[in-house]
Amino acid sequence: MEHARFDFSPIVNRRPLKLPNGARVALWVIPNLEHFHFDQPSISIYESTAGFKPDILNYSWRDYGVRVGIWRLIDMMKKYNIKGTAALNSDVCKEYPEIIEAGKQLGWEWMGHGITNSKLMANLEKEEEHQIIKDVLGTIEKSTGSKPKGWLGPALTETFNTLDLLKEEGIEYVADWVNDDQPYAMKVKNRSLLYSIPYSIEINDITAFLRFGYTPEQFYQMIVDQFDVLYAEGESNARVMSICLHPFLIGQPFRSKYLEKAFAYITNHKDVWIATGSEIIDYFKTTEKEAN
């Protein structure tokens, strides 16, 4: 079947995208702030124990992210004036309120990311999914003081109803579709528009370290190479570059030093707009209006 959510649009046929102050690249950094249940399997570093209940090895490995890794990442982002867009499990709000307070002080944006990464958004009945979305957005708004405008499904999962339900609840952009270097409009019910924002499944520490088996040095080189190509292309048609991070991985000391090197490299270039998801989408919508 066809998804009917958007039309095919080759990037070479589009009107060139312009960013504020002539920037070539919008840098979008997404810390994934997640809670995992003690008795449920999830992303693992050691598969031999992944089916155990409890799985102490993998659970405690993930738990490093909220206890230590996120604080190392926060310090790094502060150093390079990078304001994050946190993909936030709503369970984080009650389980780790200190992280929410730290993000608020830094002016981070909060993007809905389901209840917990121990429960994905696939194969849900419409009513159940709608209630989950409402609960997630309500919990985050109560905890942070602002209702999310963006959404990333846990493990980028959706149902056939997700986009319509997100729009109905006021979401303006979604990051699940990893198919472009620029934002684009998606069709939802009632002739409304929801926007896709470029998220990366490859400039992503989970894929790089756990799927590809890359070293921290190789991840650094991936980020630099991605930036160099997008920066060159962005001279005539601007691009969005996302860096997708999970504190239990990138927050490990031997990895974090290479992310810091990548941040230093990128921020040493002019014509780079460090932006949140909402800032990128809001600006993109104004350029669309001007074009029409």
Looking at residue 23, its pLDDT comes to 98
With beta carbons less than 8 A apart as the criterion, state whether 152 and 199 touch. yes
Looking at residue 106, its pLDDT comes to 95
Structural domains in the chain plus CATH codes: 22-33+48-291 (3.20.20.370)
Looking at residue 292, its pLDDT comes to 63
| Positions of the chain with pLDDT under 50 | none
CA distance 54 to 50: 9
What is the value of pTM for the model shown?
0.94
With beta carbons less than 8 A apart as the criterion, state whether 105 and 84 touch. no
Residues in a beta bridge with 34:
none
Q: Which tens digits make up the pLDDT trace of 182-225?
A: 999 999 998 889 999 999 999 999 999 999 999 999 999 999 99
Looking at residue 188, its pLDDT comes to 95
